[in-house]
């Protein structure tokens, strides 16, 4: 039997069982629709928030291209870049985390635990300190990046390096999912140590630039960079969608997946590479963003279970909601100050994750 045929088997069920299955599907769609509505509401609130004090009528008019010039400039030039960045970044990180957790069969697998984020920080440190891509402005005492593109490329390369090392090791030795996660933890420590050594021999202004980059920011992304992020995220999302049945098969264990014709090792390696590309692209442009890829899939599993036909899109929506809500908090908690997004996602994500753990322990 093909894996896809499992979804069609409900047609032959008795009436009561068929109604139960239809209710099961409706519940999942309802959760997804509620998430989309919440995301749209957060988007409107984010556009209205700030010193411009735009009304909802001005916002809606600017969104459709009418209204006064001031409203359109505020909405499309000042607000929409970081709002769209939060959406795209949340989707990419959540989908990558969902894929990592599936193919590695580990609920703690994410870009942070596999060394991707630490590798990006090392790459950014090399670009800023060794290649001179950043520092501080003596005139304005502010952090400046003389070559943001170079910093992003080096951060992306450092992030990819972690996974490529793990995939390379798996070619010489048959590594289990547990071994892969442990290798990621070891590489995280290695990259953190290397970053510390690079900073130790740097000037204070360069260290400040590295620290500022690792804080994470959605507001340094331009529309050109946003287009790159969106294109990569869309391509990776399509790949994850076509692998949804493989994820469902692997939920029952490797033996069951093999019996259904799934090449478990091949699926695991390719999915790790694609998930790393998705998360690395976001981290390269936005800096370190914690907990989104880890928490979003866990939240949605509580509501809709582990059916990846619905878990993938629901996790994407949850990731966008979580990152957009964190961005709204970052710009609203302290007047005239935008707090580091990585700190806010940690403060939002860590208690939420602890709550999920306590619920699981209780059960």
Q: What share of the chain is helix, strand, coil (3-state, %, to 5)?
A: 75, 0, 20
Compute how many other C-beta atoms are within 10 angstroms of the C-beta atom of residue 240. 25
Between residues 276 and 58, the one the model is more confident about: 276
- Above 90 in pLDDT, residue 25? no
pLDDT average, residue stretch 150-176: 88
Spatial contact of 191 and 201, defined as CB atoms under 8 Å apart:
no
Q: What is the mean pLDDT of residues 319-327?
A: 95
Rounded Cα gap, residues 363 and 358, in angstroms: 9
Domains along the chain with CATH numbers: 30-67 (no CATH), 90-362 (1.10.3470.10)
Q: What is the pLDDT of residues 77-118, one digit of tens each?
A: 989 999 999 999 999 999 999 999 999 988 888 888 889 999
Task: Say how far apart CA 129 and CA 152 lie, in whole Å.
Answer: 14
Q: Number of helices (H) and strands (E), helices first, in the chain?
A: 15, 2
Contact 274, 163 (CB under 8 A): no
Collect all residues with Cβ–Cβ distance below 8 Å to 250 and sequence separation of at least 6: 102, 103, 105, 257, 262, 264, 267
Q: What confidence tens digit (pLDDT) does each residue in 217-230 have?
A: 998 899 999 999 99
Q: Find the range with the poorest average confidence among 50-64, 150-164, 307-321.
A: 50-64
CB 122 within 8 A of CB 169: no
Q: Which residue has the tokens 């910093």?
A: 151
Going 228 to 346 to 323 to 180, the CA torsion angle's sign is: positive
Q: What is the pLDDT of residues 192-209, one digit of tens each?
A: 999 999 999 888 888 888
């Amino acid at each position: 039997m093909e894996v896809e045929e499992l979804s069609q088997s409900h047609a032959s069920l008795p009436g009561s069982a068929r109604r139960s299955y239809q209710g099961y599907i409706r519940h999942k769609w309802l959760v997804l629709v509620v998430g989309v509505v919440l995301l749209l509401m957060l988007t409107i609130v984010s556009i209205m928030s700030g010193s411009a004090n735009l009304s909802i009528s001005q916002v809606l008019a600017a969104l459709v291209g009418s209204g006064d010039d001031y409203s359109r400039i505020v909405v499309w030039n000042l607000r929409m870049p970081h709002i769209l960045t939060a959406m795209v970044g949340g989707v990419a990180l959540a989908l990558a985390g969902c894929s990592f957790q599936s193919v590695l069969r580990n609920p703690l697998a994410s870009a942070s635990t596999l060394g991707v984020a630490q590798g990006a920080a090392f790459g950014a440190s090399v670009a800023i300190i060794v290649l001179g891509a950043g520092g501080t402005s003596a005139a304005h005492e502010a952090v400046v990046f003389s070559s943001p593109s170079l910093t992003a490329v080096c951060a992306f390369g450092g992030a990819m390096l972690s996974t490529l090392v793990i995939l390379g090791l798996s070619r010489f030795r048959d590594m289990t999912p547990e071994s892969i996660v442990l290798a990621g933890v070891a590489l995280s420590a290695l990259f953190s140590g290397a970053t510390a050594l690079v900073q130790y021999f740097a000037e204070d202004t360069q260290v400040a630039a590295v620290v500022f980059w690792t804080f994470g920011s959605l507001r340094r992304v331009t529309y050109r960079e946003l287009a790159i992020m969106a294109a990569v995220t869309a391509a990776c999302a399509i790949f994850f969608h076509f692998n949804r049945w493989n994820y469902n098969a692997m939920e029952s264990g490797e033996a069951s997946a093999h019996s259904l014709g799934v090449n478990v090792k091949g699926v695991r390696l390719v999915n790790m590479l694609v998930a790393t590309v998705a998360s690395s692209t976001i981290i390269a442009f936005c800096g370190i963003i914690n907990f989104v890829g880890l928490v979003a899939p866990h939240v949605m599993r509580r509501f809709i279970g582990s059916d990846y036909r619905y878990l993938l899109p629901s996790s994407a929506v949850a990731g966008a909601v979580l990152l957009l809500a964190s961005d709204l908090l970052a710009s609203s908690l302290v007047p005239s100050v935008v707090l580091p997004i990585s700190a806010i996602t940690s403060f939002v994500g860590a208690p939420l994750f602890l709550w999920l753990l306590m619920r699981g322990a209780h059960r």
